[in-house]
Amino acid sequence: DVIARLALARMRFLGSPWARRSDTPILGLSGSTGEPHGEVSASVVSTENRTDLGYVSPPGIGDNVARRGGDRESGGIQINERSLRIMADDLRSGERAEAYLRFPAGPQNLLTYRTLRVWFRGRGPGWEEGDLQAFLKLGSDDNNFYLYRSAARSTTWEPEAVIDLETWRRLRAIVENRWLTGEPPSGAAECGTPDPNAFVACEGGYLVHLADPGINPPNLAAVQEISTGIYRVAAAVTDPTVELWVDDIRLSEPVSQTGAATSVDARLTASDVGNVRLAYTRQSGQFRQISENPSYRGTDALQVAGDLRLERFLPTSFGLAVPLTVGYSRLGVNPELLTGSDLRGAALPGLRKPSSWSTSYALAIRRSKQGTSWLTRGLLDPLALSASYSVGRAQTELSEARSNTYALTLSYQLLMRRRGFRLPLGGVVRALPEFLREGEAGKSLERATVSLVPSRVRLASGLNRDEANSTAFRFPVARGDDRLLRPTLALTHLWRNSGGLTWQPLGMLVLSGDLASTRDLRVYPVSSPIGRLAYRDRDFLFGIPTGVERDRSLVTALALTPALASWLRPRFLSNSSFVLSRMLTSRDPVPTPGDEGAFVLPKTLNNSRSNEVGMAVDLGRAFRLAAGDSSGLAKLLGRIRPVDLSTRLTRTSTFDLTAFEPSTRYQLGLGGLDRFLSQEGADALGASESRTASLTSGADLPLGISFTLSHGLTRTTRFQRVGGSFIPTEIEQREWPVGNVRWSRTFRGGPLSLLAIGTGFRRREGSSVQGSRAGGIGALSGIESSTITPDAQISFRNGVSLTLGYSQLDQSTLSNGNQTQLDQNDISSSLNYAFRLPRSLSRLRKQVRSSLTFTSTDALTCLEQRGQESCIVISDVSRYEFRGGLDTDLLQTVSAGLQIGYSLNDARHLSRRTSQISVLASFQLSLFAGDYR
C-alpha cells in the first residue's frame, strides 16, 4: 500500500533538479515575481540524528527489524528509519519550496484507494505561529495538479494528514463543468492563486489547479508527479531558514468493489428453413481478472443473427438456392469514468455515452441443381447474384459517425469439359523413327486433339457504395453549438468489372488471362483542378455516366509442357502482369506534351514479363528404358532423383505521372529492355532485368542415405532514373553448393526405434555494383557466407527421444570499403519423455509429458575499416538457456503444467552479464454449462 517511503533512493538519482523552488506561487495572497532568490535543499534525516536534531520517528514507524516479531525478510534493506528533510532560505510570503519526483516507472493509478496519508512535522519557528504550512501535490506537471495543505506541528508528528481522494475528484468535476459549459477561467481569486487564466476550485485545504482542462489535466488514474514542500502563508515570525520533515506517504482504504458479468446465449433452429441466434453480454465497470485494474466502463452487448432459406417457399422446380441472412448488433457503454481521466461520468451532465449499433442484410441467389437443357446449363447455371446492405451508427464521447453501405454483384462462372477434334497426324507419326514413334512423343502426337472453346469462363460485375458521415466534437458533453458543426463525408462509389478465361487448345498448351477494371462513380467537386478534370473525363454508357476508370489490372499466363518422353519433361512458362492506378483526390494534373494547356489525370503504371525455360530429366528412368529393369547399372541410376534445369528472364518497369495511354504491347510486357525503359518518349521511373539459372538434383542411396544438391545463379540489373538519365546497379548472387545429406535407420527390435544423422550446407556469394551519374563506379558492396547445420535424432521404444543440432555461420560483408565479419555458432538439444502418473495421484494414470531443452548462441562480429589490418570487435555476445517442463491432463476438464527456465546473457563487448530465472505454473479448468435447444 506504500507509494514510496519517500522514495528517497530514486529521488537522489535525479540530481540537483529534484529540489526546486517556484517564485510564482501556487497558493497565497501575493508572491514575488522578481528575480529568483534564496536556496532550497533536500536531504535525509533519520534515527541517527536523534542527538543533534532531536529526530523522533512518527507514531507506529520505526526500525522494524529491531522490534520483537519484526519482519525477518527486511534484513536486506536499510533498517534505520528515515524522513525527507526540506530546507529553504529566504522563503517569502506566498512562495513555496518543494521536493518532487516524476515516477520513472510511468504513471501510477491511485483510483483503487480512497485516502492518501502522510506525516508532516515542522522544525524551527513559524510553524506553531501559523506562518508556514506543509503541502502534498499530485498531478501531471507544475500547472496541472491536485494539492492538499495543512498546518504542521514542530513539537509532534500528530495529527497525521489524511487526504480524501474523493474530495479532489469532486472539485475536479466542478472545474470540468465550468470549462464544458463555456465559462471563462475562474476560482483563482477565491482560492488565493495568482494565475487568473487557470481553472481553480478549492475546499478547505484541498485545491485543484488546471491551466487548461483540455491539455494534460491531473488524473488520479495516471499520476505522473508527486511533490511535497513548504508554503509560507504569512511572515509574522521571520527566520532565514525554514525546515520540514515528511515521512511515510502511503495509500490506504483500498476500494474492494465486486464486479459482475452476465452472458446468455440462445439458438432456435427451425428444421432446414432457418435459424436464429442470440447472444447477450453484460459486464460492469468493476469486472476484471485477477491482478488487473477495472475498466470503469460497463458494457451491454447484444447480437442477433438469423438465416432463412427462402427457396423453401418456392417451387422445387425452380432449382434455386436463396439464403437470406439478417444480423443486428448493439453495444452500449456506461462510463463510470470519462475516458482517460478520473472524472465520474455521472458528474458531467449531458455526457455522450459511447454506443454503437448496426444492421446488415445479405441475400444470394444461385442455381442449386444442374439444368437439363444446354441453354439452361450454359446461361442460367453459371449465374449467381449476391446483394448486401448495412447501416450503422457509432458514438464516443468526442465523435459520432453514421454509415450505410450496399453492394450488388452479378457473376458468371462457366466450366466446360475439354472437347475437340483429333488432328490427322497418323502419317506423321508413322514416319518418325521407332524410338520416337513408340515413345511418349509419338503417342502424344497420335492422340493430339484441338479444342476451340475455353475450358473456363469468368465474368463478374459489382456495384458498391459506402457512405460515412463523421462529426468530431471538442467537448465530451452535448452543447448548443454542436449543431453548427458540419460532418465530414467519406464516400466510395465504385463499379468493378472483371473477366477471364482459361483455354487449353492443345493438351500440352494452357493459356489464361484475367482483366479487371474499377470505375469511380463519385462526382468530385469542380472547385479543384483535379476535380474538374475527373468530371471532364467521365465516360457514358447509353447516356448513363459510368465515371472514371481508377484501377486496371491485366494478368496473362502461358504454359507449354510437351511430353517428349517419360524421362524428359521440357517446359516453357511465360506470364505477365500490368497495373494502372489513377489518383483522383491527390497530386496535380499532368500536362500533355505538345499540347499546351491540356492535362490528364495523374497515374502510375507497372508491368512485368517473366519467361522460364526448364527441363526435368529422369536419368534413372532413361537407363531403365534403355538397358532394362534387371540391369545393375539401371537399378543404381534409378536411385538418382530427376535433374531439374531452368533459366528465367524477368523484366519490370514503373512509370509515374505520365501522359501517354499504355498500349496493348506494354500491358502484355512485350518487347526488349528498351521497351521497359522508355515508352512514347517518356522514361520509366525505374526498371529491372533479372536472369536466374538453377540446377537441382539428388539421390536415394542404399543403407538409408539420401542427399539433395542444387546450384543457383542470379544476375540482376536495376535502372533508377535520376534527373534525365538512368543509374544502373549490377547485382550478382551465386549459391553453390546448397543441399543436405541424411542417413536414417528404423530398428524393428532392441531399445532403439529410430536413428537419424544429417547435415545441411549452404554457401552464398553476392555482389552489388552501383553506377554513378558520371559513368564510373559509385558504390561497391558484397557478401560471402557459408552455413553448415548438422543434426541428430534418436528415439527409444520406451518413449524417450533426443535431438541434437548445431549451426555454424561464417559471413563477410563488404560495404564502402569496410568489411564486417560475423562468426556465429548455435547449439540446440532437447530431451522428451512421456510417462504415466502413479496410481497414488491418478487412478486413471494420466500421461505426463516432460521436456528438457538447452540452447546456446555465440556470435562475434568485428569491423575491419578501410586501410586497417586489424578487425575491431563491435559485438561479442553469447546466450545460454536451460528449460524444463511438465504438463498433464489430470482429468477430462483439468490440466496442469510447470515450466522452469534459466537463461544467461553475456555481452562481453559491453562487460555486461545478466541472468534470469523463470517459473511458470499453469492450471486450467474447463467447464461446460450445456446447450439448450
Q: CA 687 to CA 664: how far, in whole Å?
A: 19
Q: What is the pLDDT of residues 377-412, one digit of tens each?
A: 889 999 999 999 999 999 999 999 999 999 999 999
Q: Is the pLDDT of residue 850 over 50?
A: yes
Q: What is the pLDDT of residue 23?
A: 40
Q: What value does the mean pLDDT of the chain take?
A: 87
For residues 311-321, average pLDDT? 91
Whether cis (ω within 30° of 0) applies to the bond prior to 159 is: yes
User: CA nearest 92: which of 18, 45, 37?
Assistant: 37
How many CB atoms lie under 10 A from the CB of residue 658?
21
Counting Cα atoms < 13 Å in the Cβ hemisphere of 697 gives 17
Beta bridge partners of 559: 510, 573
pLDDT band at 290 (very low <50, low <70, confident <90, very high): confident
Q: Is the pLDDT of residue 711 over 90?
A: yes
pLDDT cut 70: percent of the chain above it? 91
How many CB atoms lie under 10 A from the CB of residue 869?
6
pLDDT band at 98 (very low <50, low <70, confident <90, very high): confident
| Contact (Cβ atoms closer than 8 angstroms) between residue 194 and residue 84 | no
Q: Which of 370-374, 513-517, 558-562, 576-580 has the lowest mean pLDDT?
A: 370-374
pLDDT band at 859 (very low <50, low <70, confident <90, very high): very high
pLDDT band at 454 (very low <50, low <70, confident <90, very high): very high
Q: What is the pLDDT of residue 908?
A: 92
Burial degree of 413 (CB within 10 A; 0-12, 13-18, 19+): middle
CA angle 406, 402, 283 (to 5 degrees): 110
Q: Is the pLDDT of residue 28 over 60?
A: no
Question: What CA dihedral angle connects 747, 752, 754 and 760, to 10 degrees?
Answer: -120
pLDDT cut 90: percent of the chain above it? 56
Q: What is the pLDDT of residue 182?
A: 87
Q: What is the pLDDT of residue 868?
A: 80
Q: Which one of 256-265, 283-292, 433-442 scores highest in mean pLDDT? A: 256-265
Q: What is the pLDDT of residues 324-364, one digit of tens each?
A: 999 999 999 999 998 888 999 999 999 999 999 999 999 99
Q: What is the pLDDT of residues 65-82, one digit of tens each?
A: 444 444 444 444 445 678
Q: Is the pLDDT of residue 7 over 60?
A: no
| Contact (Cβ atoms closer than 8 angstroms) between residue 175 and residue 213 | yes
Question: Does the pTM of the predicted model rise above 0.75?
Answer: yes
Q: What is the pLDDT of residue 562?
A: 87
pLDDT band at 289 (very low <50, low <70, confident <90, very high): confident
For residues 261-285, average pLDDT? 93
Q: What is the pLDDT of residue 43?
A: 83
Comparing 596 with 174, which gets the higher pLDDT? 174
Q: CA 780 to CA 817: how far, in whole Å?
A: 8
Q: What is the pLDDT of residue 372?
A: 86
Compute the residue count for the chain: 933
Say if strands 261-270 and 206-210 run parallel, antiparallel, or are unpaired: unpaired
For residues 892-909, average pLDDT? 91
406: left (phi over 0), alpha (psi -120 to 50) or beta: beta
Q: Which one of 207-216, 710-719, 918-927 scores highest in mean pLDDT? A: 710-719
Q: Is 573 helix (H, G, I), strand (E, B) or coil?
A: strand
Q: What is the pLDDT of residue 37?
A: 64
pLDDT band at 892 (very low <50, low <70, confident <90, very high): confident
Comparing 917 with 47, which gets the higher pLDDT? 917
**Amino acid making up residue 596:** E
Sorted by sequence, the CB contacts under 8 Å of residue 603 that are 6+ apart come out as 580, 581, 582, 583, 590, 657, 658
pLDDT band at 1 (very low <50, low <70, confident <90, very high): very low
Q: Which of 391-405, 602-616, 735-749, 768-782 has the lowest mean pLDDT?
A: 768-782
pLDDT band at 775 (very low <50, low <70, confident <90, very high): low
Q: What is the pLDDT of residue 295?
A: 87
Q: What is the pLDDT of residue 629?
A: 65
pLDDT band at 17 (very low <50, low <70, confident <90, very high): very low
Q: What is the pLDDT of residue 271?
A: 87
Determine the distance from the C-alpha atom of residue 519 to the mean position of all C-alpha atoms in its chain, rounded to a whole number: 32
| Contact (Cβ atoms closer than 8 angstroms) between residue 723 and residue 706 | no
